[in-house]
Amino acid sequence: MAKIAFLGLGVMGYPMAGHLKAAGHDVTVYNRTSSKAEAWVAEFGGSWAPTPREAAAGQDFVMACVGNDDDLSAVCLGENGAFAGMKAGAVFADHTTVSERITKTLYAKAGETGISFVDAPISGGQAGAENGVLSVMCGGDEDAYARVEPVIQAYSKICRRIGASGAGQLTKMCNQIAIGGLVQALSESLHFAEKAGLDGRAVVEVISQGAAGSWQMANRHETMLDGHFDHGFATDWMRKDLKICLEAADQTGASLPVTALVDQFYKDVQKMGGGRWDTSSLFARLRKLD
């Protein structure tokens, strides 16, 4: 059993922290809205703290799953940040999707105080978090990763260190680049089927068994055809992630023409009022164009 703090109880963090408690760990949670932390304790047990610093004090591991670069900085740094409360030798594992820049900054600052920082962004969505089968891609020092990996197993189906600090975030960018292109292609396929007068479900039943098959096709085609998008990973968050991808591409010299185009399509979805819709709402954009 380890002593763990979990910072951020959104749609991902709430069940992830629950899996840690179910695995027998001593868990203290923090959330910006304290009522959610209180609700988590009522459901799972454990304890909650009013600041990241108090939650992190004396813990072996501190896990975070917040919104963006600024949110992560806020829970890590400052008088009430987690770094100020963590003991020497503790490991901070960040599950937020953020930029490589802030990751390397926090890695360096953590090292100055004798703690370790592992970037560990996740993929698998809300369902993956709830079922404890997330994919976790990590960057950081080998010894820190080796210590935190058994803890992460509580909510993952695969957890792998890709390389040095920032490698986890770069891998998550690869993930989001692939998803954006896949969802747009699936949307166009279903749109074409409809315009051609075909039964979309029948089409998917056949083509999903061949080379066209994907997780997106298997798990999203039904809701896409039904026009249901009030679930899953929000378009607003996807645009945040794709912005990170495109900025990194400028720095590395990578060419991402499809990603840049899909990002603009998601901007159209936002203009339609779909900022909180699932990323599969690219299909709704095509329907609107009819």
Q: Are residues 185 and 268 in the same domain?
A: yes
Last residue of a domain, which of 124, 139, 164? 164
Last residue of a domain, which of 146, 164, 182? 164
Please report which confidence band the pLDDT of residue 64 belongs to, taking 50, 70 and 90 as the band edges.
very high
Q: What is the pLDDT of residues 3-29, one digit of tens each?
A: 999 999 999 999 999 999 999 999 999
Show the tokens assigned to 110. 């953590």
pLDDT computed for residue 151 by the predictor: 98
The β-bridge relationship of strands 134-139 and 122-123 is: antiparallel
Q: Are residues 225 and 86 in the same domain?
A: no
Question: What is the C-alpha separation between 138 and 118, in angstroms, rounded?
Answer: 7
Q: Are residues 49 and 179 in the same domain?
A: no
Q: Are residues 180 and 158 in the same domain?
A: no
Q: Are residues 105 and 152 in the same domain?
A: yes
Active-site residue list: 172
Average pLDDT, the chain: 97
Q: Are residues 189 and 93 in the same domain?
A: no
Please report which confidence band the pLDDT of residue 290 belongs to, taking 50, 70 and 90 as the band edges.
confident
Distances (CA, A) of 44 to 6, 23, 32, 35, 99: 13, 11, 18, 14, 32
pLDDT computed for residue 177 by the predictor: 98
CATH number of the domain enclosing 219: 1.10.1040.10
Range of the domain at 87: 3-164
Q: What is the pLDDT of residues 192-219, one digit of tens each?
A: 999 999 999 999 999 999 999 999 999 9
Q: Are residues 212 and 153 in the same domain?
A: no
- With a CB cutoff of 8 Å and minimum separation 6, the contacts of 198 are none
* Strand-pair partners of 123: 135
Q: In the chain, at which residue ranges do the beta strands (DSSP E only) sit? A: 3-7, 26-30, 47-48, 61-64, 91-94, 116-119, 122-123, 134-139, 156-163
Last residue of a domain, which of 116, 138, 164? 164
Mean pLDDT in residue range 65-77? 97
- Coil, helix or strand at residue 194: helix
Question: What is the C-alpha separation between 69 and 159, in angstroms, rounded?
Answer: 22
Q: What is the pLDDT of residues 154-199, one digit of tens each?
A: 999 999 999 999 999 999 999 999 999 999 999 999 999 999 999 9
Q: Are residues 109 and 252 in the same domain?
A: no
Q: Are residues 14 and 138 in the same domain?
A: yes
Number of domains in the chain: 2
Question: What is the C-alpha separation between 75 and 189, in angstroms, rounded?
Answer: 42
- Cβ neighbours of 256 (radius 10 Å): 20
Q: What is the pLDDT of residues 99-147, one digit of tens each?
A: 999 999 999 999 999 999 999 999 999 999 999 999 999 999 999 999 9
Q: Whole-model pTM?
A: 0.94
Question: What is the C-alpha separation between 242 and 258, in angstroms, rounded?
Answer: 11
Q: Are residues 128 and 188 in the same domain?
A: no
> Which helix H or strand E contains 169, and what residues bound it?
helix 167-195
Phi, psi angle pair for 29, to nearest 5°:
-115, 155
- Coil, helix or strand at residue 196: coil
Q: Are residues 142 and 198 in the same domain?
A: no
Q: Are residues 142 and 188 in the same domain?
A: no
